[in-house]
Amino acid sequence: MQLRMTNQREIILRELNTSQRHLAADELYDRVKKVMPRISLATVYRNLEILSEAGMIGKLEISGRQKRFDYDPSEHDHIYCVVCHRVDNLEMAHKGLTAEEFGAVVGYSVTGYRLEIIGVCPECQTKNENKESKK
Amino acid sequence: MQLRMTNQREIILRELNTSQRHLAADELYDRVKKVMPRISLATVYRNLEILSEAGMIGKLEISGRQKRFDYDPSEHDHIYCVVCHRVDNLEMAHKGLTAEEFGAVVGYSVTGYRLEIIGVCPECQTKNENKESKK
DNA sequence: CTCCGTGCAAACGATTTGCACTATG
DNA sequence: CATAGTGCAAATCGTTTGCACGGAG
């Protein structure tokens, strides 16, 4: 079950990397299609899954919405915009947050944690100001 | 747009409360159906949405899975089991975690955060031990 | 030449919606 | 009695899967 570096896999990986964004499968599909028009959405899904399993990209499951994929597989937290759903990387925010002690409270064995900071991104703040002043 | 306290709404609320669990819509539907067999799943979805908007229950969007609803609408964090997907409440875990400072890093205006502790619940730990010893 | 990977379409699970009917306030 | 809420079925959205074919190693 070794990984083959197919053309589509290479392009998917490259497009995600050069985007420097946290794309959802369909957004990445749109980008990849411009380079390889006959690629299928299923292939994009399959490869994103495989690549994240292989630790070459990160998988983000945020806020009940679509999954997003991170060009940076290293461990870090995220901040996301409630208006446009854009996601950005954050330095690890859990200094002093020892997950273990919470497990003890309820008898869980703790394996990790997931932290999302929620807010409005700079772009959406600007748009909103415009909207306000139009009123 | 005032809220009417219909029979179905009352029962949904009551069943969620007495369950003392973090139920998904279909799980709650199953419980409610025992009391009111002709209720529809759509009604359950609609009311869970409305009740959480009204602040009478909490809505949980965890890890790309189904939404779950919390009988306790007060602000608190959650811990959940990767094996059975059960969710439990946790005292606020963010002492010393000032979300605001992260917003500053990337220009976001921060409105909140979401923290999930991930682990294995006591029940699933026990089951797993059994499985291990059978080998 | 062996399988892993692909494209396509169909299936899927969770959730939402249009509609005509019902019942709360 | 006005209009928020309901039940039903169909629609929608994101994602996965079965299958026959194609291409990497």
- pLDDT tens sequence across B82-112: 888 899 998 766 555 566 667 667 889 988 8
- pTM higher than 0.85 for the full model? yes
Work out the pLDDT band at B1, boundaries 50, 70, 90: low
Interchain contact, A111 vs B119, CB within 8 Å: yes
Nearest C-alpha in B relative to A94: B97
Is the pLDDT reported for residue B28 higher than 70?
Answer: yes
- pLDDT tens sequence across B42-78: 999 999 999 999 999 999 988 767 999 999 999 898 9
Query: Residue B114: beta bridge partners?
Result: A116
B69 to A2, A64, A135, B59, B99: CA distances (angstroms)? 41, 13, 37, 5, 24
- The per-residue b/e assignment along A90-120, b for 16 or more CB within 10 angstroms, e otherwise, is beebeeebebeebbeebebebeebbbbbbbb
**Domains of chain A, each with CATH number or no CATH:** 1-73 (1.10.10.10), 75-135 (3.30.1490.190)
Is the pLDDT reported for residue B128 higher than 70?
Answer: no
Mutate: best of A106, A127, A128, partner B, most B CBs <10 A: A106
Query: Residue A115: beta bridge partners?
Result: B115
- pLDDT tens sequence across A25-42: 999 999 999 999 999 999
d(CA B101, CA B83): 34
Q: CA of A29 to nearest chain B CA: how many angstroms apart?
A: 20
Residue B67 CB coordination number (10 Å) = 16
Query: Residue B58: beta bridge partners?
Result: B70
Q: Distance in angstroms, CA of A21 to C1' of D14?
A: 20
